[in-house]
Structures are given as C-alpha cells and as structure tokens.
C-alpha cells in the first residue's frame, strides 16, 4: 500500500453498520496485518483487525492522494478464516 494516504470515510454508510471512523483508520495503518484483494479498477476489498480485536471487511477506492472507504462492516466467519490463513503485513 506504500506510505499512508489520507483516509476519507463515507460516515453514513459505516455508521449504519456500527463502525467508527477510528476503527477503519486502525485497520488501514501501514504495517498492520491485512488481506487485500483487487475487486475492480481502483477498488479494493480489505479484511483486517482493529486494536480491540474486531474483524472488519471494507471496500475502498484507491485515489492518488487518499483512500476513500465507502463500505465497512463486521467480517463474516469465512472472511475471518481467510484473513487468518492469507493475511499479510502491508
């Protein structure tokens, strides 16, 4: 992912799922273990863990100067297993 870009969050969408902006930022910090997969042009799916141990699944748009997180929710059990098997420090 390279150097940390500014994280911009669609607050209404993540609030709908009971997730805070702080939790999203924790998951996207460089050096944190994450599973990332490209979904389509400039859109990535990421599964990561917050400092409190909560697993989140997020979709973000990778723009030149920022990461725009437009979707975040609790990860499903199969996604947590995928993270545990294939997650890497990025």
Q: What's the full length of the chain, in residues?
A: 90
pLDDT tens column, 12-47: 989 999 999 999 999 988 888 999 999 999 899 999
- Tokens in use for 75? 């990860």
Contact, 4 vs 67, CB < 8 A? no
Please tell me the pTM assigned to this model. Answer: 0.87
Query: From residue 32, how far is each of 3, 40, 86 by CA, in Å?
Result: 13, 23, 13
Number of separate domains in the chain? 1
Please, which pLDDT band fits residue 88 given cuts at 50, 70 and 90?
Answer: confident
Other Cβ atoms closer than 10 A to 63: 12
1 lies in some domain? no
The two beta strands, 33-40 and 88-89, are: antiparallel
Q: Which domain holds residue 30?
A: 6-89
pLDDT tens column, 71-81: 999 999 999 99
């Amino acid at each position: 992912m390279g150097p940390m870009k500014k994280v911009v969050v669609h607050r209404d969408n993540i609030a709908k799922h009971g997730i805070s902006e702080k939790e999203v930022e924790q998951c996207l910090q460089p050096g944190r273990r994450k599973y990332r997969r490209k979904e389509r042009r400039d859109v990535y799916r990421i599964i990561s863990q917050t400092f409190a141990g909560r697993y989140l699944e997020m979709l973000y748009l990778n723009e030149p100067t920022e990461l725009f997180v437009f979707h975040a929710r609790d990860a499903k059990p199969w996604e947590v297993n995928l993270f545990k098997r294939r997650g890497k420090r990025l």
